[in-house]
Structure 1
Amino acid sequence: MSTCILVISRVLTAVCFVLMAVGPGLAEIKNFGPFKIDTARPDVIALEGPIDDRAALAFRRALLTLPDVKLMTLNSPGGEVDNGLLIADDVFQRKLATYIAPDAECYSACSYIFLAGDERRVEGKLGVHQISSQRPDLASAQFSISDIIDMLNRFGTPTDVLTIMFRTPPDDMYVFNEADITKYGINRSRGSADTPRAPAAPLADVQLPATATNNAPAVVLDTPTPSVSMADSASLAELSVIEDYAKRPNRLALYTGLDFSEQDIASEAVDDAKACALRCLETGGACRAFTFNITTPKSPGPNCFLKSARGQLDGNASAISGQLLSRADSYPSSFTIGVIDPKASVFENVDLVGGDLSRKPFTKAKTARDCRLACVDNDSCRAFTYLKRKKECWLKSGASQPRAAADMISGLKKIETFEPATVIDLE
């Protein structure tokens, strides 16, 4: 194993240990029944698991611990209806936002909590069905159903959603697809819960079967669905709690031998790669990627480059780069690019004769580095030669026989694939 690879391997191990230790060190995870809170993020409560007969009390305890909570994330198969309604009422009264992440599901009683959100968005799975009752008498069924109708109407639940809910048998589940979510207006911008709503449908308007059954009856409602104007939506989007949450970084993908070029917002001299990674995390979201050069010492530096985005990809055996990923991002990609490594594939005082892509030099490249990157960006380019005295960049379709030549720099391209060396869960 080369010295450079060995150093990078050791640095990556150190980065992983430090960053995995930093999360728990800064936060305390507390569980209240099916609810989880992270004291480092006091604006979020997560529902993870079934809603049991003590869930409403557990939720109140979580609220006391995080009085400034703004958002509930939901991942639950459902559970006890009355507790689901009590939790939903608390969510509604406190004007919390509700969010179903892409890898989450919210079924049955969990859907009441979701629909109570002042701002709500489903990106995972939302499912509804009728309630199932252990008490088969018609009066009890009527009271249970009227409670659900009353509360869901208060939440501004679209009429079509209510209809689907009460027409789906309790042993089945209607899961809304993307078209349904748009069609029925299930997602909602923040603040639209304040729009006037019609009162709950009276029981006389609810069509019940003539005999008692364990299945909730079909419901016919004529409640208007609240709406928000386009202008209101634009202004409310600026206040989106869910957008803020979805954009927070929750993973860090690390790459070795890959330089994220350009998009710099700051450059610093730091001790090592783990210090560079921590500096990126400490910027409050301004930094979304970084590159650390392991061969550049702290003095004179800089060796840590913080970036607003990943930027241009460039192969460099001395580089360790990291990209912050949010919940909205897919699994970190692999990159297959043409690479001219500035350490291993660029040669001083060497000329590559012939194979020029053009009869004229590439005029936009003013330095040898510019010439190298121009070749990297050009799919037809396989090599380059830069004339230092004339400041001329010659891009080439292939590498001919090299020859010694003073004041010339040449480089050879090869195709490489870069996989994430590791992905660190920041939560």
Structure 2
Amino acid sequence: MDDTQPSSARGLRRAILAVLAVQAGIAALLVAIDLVSVVPRPGGSPGSAGPSVRPYVPDRHPAGPDAPRGRPMPERLAFEGTGDRLNVSGQIAPGDAERVAQELSRRSEAGEPVRIVNLDSTGGSVRDALAIGRELREREIDTGVADGAICFSACPYIFAGGVERTVAQGGRLGVHQHYFGENTFLPAFMAVNDIQRGQAEVMAHLRAMGIDPALLEPAMRTPPGEIYILDRQELVEFRLVTSDD
């Protein structure tokens, strides 16, 4: 270091280096957490390559006999159904919470209030999913996942808003880690704050909806590129379903 620099300049340089060192340390910690989450665990536990974990592709419905590569999912939620049922399918895009509220209001004003929302979604915007879940609970609407349908990633937070909640034997509900930040160039300490704030919002939502916040354990252990499929026993234990049909 140049000893001819003023003491104030040397102090500023040391402060900047200290901040960078802290950010690098936090970034290394985040990488280590991600590495731990993908290390295979015996017995197919959350975060392993066991029978409960599947690859996750947000823009495609899981593969099946009639669609070996899966079928494309709409880029934002689409609405179908008549009478008191509303079928909601696709990815959850920013702004979809407002669209769902408008659709519910439109049908109510037309004399056909929605009583149950059937979900088939790969997830998407966590904050919109939380808002939709709250909207459904305020309107006292039930939720369901039908045979062959899925509710992955952020979708369970919509599902949690239902007063009565059912998952058919052939339906699947799955969770994993989420991204909460919009800007990937944020300093590491700001990214950590964003994640913690987002997880706190999710936990508060689950509690308000009567869901066991322990649901976050398998979610946080499963990397974003995979999805942890909850079995029937877990759906009951986490109080996600109100009846085990």
The bucket for the TM-score relative to the shorter chain is 0.5 to 0.7
2:214 to 160, 165, 186: 160
Task: Point out where structure 1 has 5 or more consecutive residues left out of the alignment.
Answer: 1-32, 190-232, 234-242, 244-427
- Corresponding residue number in structure 1 for 2:127: 82
Opposite residue 209 of structure 2, the aligned amino acid is F
1:126 aligns with 2:169: no
Aligned residues: 157
Opposite residue 55 of structure 1, the aligned amino acid is D
- Corresponding residue number in structure 1 for 2:203: 149
Task: Point out where structure 2 has 5 or more consecutive residues left out of the alignment.
Answer: 1-75
SS in 2 for 1:76: strand
Q: Distance in 1 between matches of 2:100 and 2:121?
A: 14
- Corresponding residue number in structure 1 for 2:224: 170
- 1:179 CA displacement: 3.2
- Corresponding residue number in structure 2 for 1:61: 102
Q: Distance in 1 between matches of 2:238 and 2:201?
A: 22
SS in 2 for 1:59: helix
Which of structures 1 and 2 has the larger relative contact order (alpha carbons within 8 angstroms, sep 6+)?
2
- 1:144 CA displacement: 1.1
* Cα distance change, pair 81–185 in 1 and its aligned pair in 2 (3 A): closer
SS in 2 for 1:78: strand
1:139 to 193, 200, 218: 193
- Identity percentage of aligned residues: 29
TM-score (norm 2): 0.59
Opposite residue 37 of structure 1, the aligned amino acid is E
- 1:183 CA displacement: 4.1
SS in 2 for 1:131: coil
Q: Distance in 1 between matches of 2:180 and 2:142?
A: 30
In terms of fraction of residues, the more strand-rich structure is 1
SS in 2 for 1:36: strand
- 1:148 CA displacement: 0.9
1:102 to 133, 147, 152: 147
* Cα distance change, pair 38–133 in 1 and its aligned pair in 2 (3 A): closer
Alpha-carbon displacement from aligned partner over 1:84-114 (angstroms, at most 9, x marks no partner) = 1111110121121110001100001111011
* Cα distance change, pair 139–185 in 1 and its aligned pair in 2 (3 A): closer
Q: Give the conservation status (yes or no) of the 8 Å contact 1:111–1:126.
A: yes
TM-score (norm 1): 0.35
Q: Give the conservation status (yes or no) of the 8 Å contact 2:211–2:239.
A: no
- Corresponding residue number in structure 1 for 2:240: 186
Counterpart mapping for 1:285-364 below 5 A: none
* Cα distance change, pair 159–38 in 1 and its aligned pair in 2 (3 A): closer
1:50 aligns with 2:95: no
- 1:185 CA displacement: 3.6
Alpha-carbon displacement from aligned partner over 1:354-388 (angstroms, at most 9, x marks no partner) = xxxxxxxxxxxxxxxxxxxxxxxxxxxxxxxxxxx
Alpha-carbon displacement from aligned partner over 1:378-407 (angstroms, at most 9, x marks no partner) = xxxxxxxxxxxxxxxxxxxxxxxxxxxxxx
Alpha-carbon displacement from aligned partner over 1:316-343 (angstroms, at most 9, x marks no partner) = xxxxxxxxxxxxxxxxxxxxxxxxxxxx
1:37 aligns with 2:91: no
Alpha-carbon displacement from aligned partner over 1:276-329 (angstroms, at most 9, x marks no partner) = xxxxxxxxxxxxxxxxxxxxxxxxxxxxxxxxxxxxxxxxxxxxxxxxxxxxxx
In terms of fraction of residues, the more helix-rich structure is 2
- Runs of 4 or more, structure 1, over 6 Å off, are none
Q: Give the conservation status (yes or no) of the 8 Å contact 2:126–2:180.
A: no
Q: Distance in 2 between matches of 1:182 and 1:38?
A: 28
Alpha-carbon displacement from aligned partner over 1:32-90 (angstroms, at most 9, x marks no partner) = x5231334x1x111111101112112101211122221110000000111111111110
Alpha-carbon displacement from aligned partner over 1:193-247 (angstroms, at most 9, x marks no partner) = xxxxxxxxxxxxxxxxxxxxxxxxxxxxxxxxxxxxxxxx9xxxxxxxxx9xxxx
Q: Distance in 2 between matches of 1:149 and 1:53?
A: 20
